[in-house]
Amino acid sequence: MKTDLTAAQLMDPDTASSEKVLRKCVHCGFCTATCPTYVLLGDELDSPRGRIYQIKEMLEKGGAPSPETVKHVDRCLSCLSCMTTCPSGVNYMHLVDHARSYIEEHHVRPLPDRLLRSLLSRVLPNRALFRLSLTAARLGRPFAGLLPGRLKGMVAMAPASLPKASPTERPGVFPAVGERRARVAMLAGCAQAVLAPQINDSVVRLLNRHGVEVVIVSGSDCCGSLDHHIGKTAKAHALAKVNIAAWSREAFDAIVVATSGCGTTVKDYGFMFRDDPEWAERAAKVASLAKDLTEVLDLLELQTPVAPTGLAVAYHSACSMQHGQKVDRQPRRLLAAAGFQVLDVPEGHICCGSAGTYNLLQPEIAKQLQARKVANIESTRPQLVATGNIGCMVQIAGGTQLPVVHVAQLLDWATGGPKPAELA
């Protein structure tokens, strides 16, 4: 793709990086077939190719973007299915991340939208505030009908009850069982630690059982993913720096992230700080150490199952897992080794509609994608659904009566841990 950016514009490192991405696009259109919003809406402007044109024009023109461009960039899920499909190696992730940051800086959103985005940015990465907000939402559910559309949907998504906080969200060391084979840091996370602390508990037990010492490092916190994907770059980088500093104080064999959306962001820390002389080296080191739980377990080899599992599992490969991290075979291989019958879901490359905060900011499209995903899952006639991302778990569970559990919970159960409560 030909670009027409000025020398002055290319002095900005992000614009220079985006120009390289733009020039790789050859307009082939392969991406349209796998883009969830294009498949649903049939609008070229809601396809990766269409958004690439709009982002190119926005950057070349400079100044405030058009409301039309903002609308179509906002509708992008950042599922990255287009990157898996693209034969030219277009890094759409970096391009759309830059576009969102540019829009945040140059566009004034309507007041309700600004307030909602600020609320999400303030509450979701903070475990204490998130717990408080979920409690308030539960109490306010009888009055949900009086709320505006998107707030009504947020209240409806709040769980009926909240589990107690787990020791795995606080700094500490969880020693290996038997001879220590590795020492890893683990990202405790924000939303997952509040909504489903049993996932992190399973991760720790599972790794300990396989001879891995797990450290929750003091100072490590939210990965910055949420803010990064709504264009709040300064805050996202500030959160990332906190983690990079914390994880750089000690030596680890890996940094385990059991929420695939967070894992995609942590693995991109090196790119995020590529031009920062103070942080570039440490960020790149942290990014190179970041691993999904299933990557670590696949290398260690799963212990022989001790529980008679045998259930038929529809494995939902989260977009951030299969497209963002290119991790797809490992979870399936581990589930099969644990004795489960792993079922492939039709249209497995299409997003479930969660996409971080997408189901809160674009609820209409997210609801359509949820229904499509659930129909495809249920067509396989599974006994349960497994995935590696808390956002997908909440989204899918909102549309089906099937139990939805994290891969870590199933592997933990198979190798000696408790049976997931969802299967009771």
User: Are residue 346 and residue 401 in the same domain, yes or no?
Assistant: yes
Q: Based on the domain organization, do 57 and 100 belong to the same domain?
A: yes
Is 251 within the bounds of a domain? Answer: no
Domain end call among 47, 74, 106: 106
pLDDT of 334 higher than 90: yes
Residues 388 and 411 in one domain: yes
Task: Output phi, psi for 344, to 5 deg.
Answer: -85, 130
- Residue 82 predicted with pLDDT over 70: yes
Instruction: Look up residue 69 and give its two tokens.
Output: 């461009």
Enclosing domain of residue 87? 9-106
**Shared-domain flag, residues 81 and 29:** yes
Identify the pLDDT of residue 146.
61
Burial class of residue 381 (count of CB atoms within 10 Å of its CB; 0-12, 13-18, 19+): exposed
Same domain, 50 and 151: no
> Distance (Å, rounded) from C-alpha 204 to C-alpha 175?
9
Let me know whether 90 and 153 are in one domain: no
- Tokens 């996932």 correspond to 199
Helices (H), 75-196: 81-85, 92-106, 111-123, 127-140, 149-157, 191-195
DSSP secondary structure of 248-317: TSS--SEEEE-SHHHHHHHTTHHHHTTT-TTTHHHHHHHHHHEEEHHHHHHHH-PPPP-S----EEEE--
**316 lies in the same domain as 393:** yes
Cα 322 to Cα 356: distance, rounded to the nearest angstrom: 15
Could you give the residue ranges of the DSSP H alpha helices within 301-357?
319, 329-337
At 143, is the pLDDT very low, low, confident or very high (cuts 50, 70, 90)?
low
**72 and 148: one domain?**
no
Q: How far apart are CA 349 and CA 326, in angstroms?
A: 12
**Paired tokens of 171:** 């700094």
pTM value is 0.93
Region 376-394 average pLDDT: 97
What is the DSSP code (8-state) at residue 101?
H
Q: Which of 137-146, 262-271, 332-341 has the lowest mean pLDDT?
A: 137-146
Give CA–CA dist 226/355, Å, rounded: 10
> What domain count does the chain have?
3
* Rg of the chain over all Cα atoms, to the nearest angstrom: 21
pLDDT tens sequence across 84-121 = 999 999 999 999 999 999 999 999 999 989 999 999 99
Cα angle vertex 187, ends 182, 191, to 5°?
Answer: 150
417 lies in a domain?
yes
64 & 138 share domain: no
Look at residue 216 and tell me if it is in a domain. Answer: no
C-alpha pair distances (Å), 48 with each of 35, 44, 54, 165: 7, 8, 10, 40
Contact status, residue 209 vs residue 415, Cβ threshold 8 Å: yes
In a domain, 273, yes or no: no
Per DSSP, helices labelled H in 141-255 are 149-157, 191-195, 197-209, 225-229, 233-247
- Per-residue model confidence as pLDDT tens digits over 5-46: 999 999 999 999 999 999 999 999 899 999 999 999 999 999
Residue 229 lies in a domain: no
Q: What is the pLDDT of residue 35?
A: 97
C-alpha torsion sign, points 193, 194, 195, 196: positive
The answer to whether residues 384 and 404 belong to one domain is yes
pLDDT band per the 50, 70, 90 thresholds, residue 152: low
pLDDT in tens, 198-219: 999 999 999 999 999 999 999 9
Residue 148 has pLDDT above 80, yes or no: no
Residue 336 within any structural domain of the chain: yes
Same domain? 417 vs 309: yes
Check whether residue 60 and residue 137 sit in a common domain: no
Per-residue pLDDT tens digits for 272-301 = 999 999 999 999 999 999 999 999 999 999
Backbone φ/ψ region at 238: left (φ over 0), alpha (ψ -120 to 50), beta: alpha
Pairing of strands 290-292, 404-406: unpaired
What pLDDT is attached to residue 149? 66
Tell me whether residue 384 is in a domain: yes
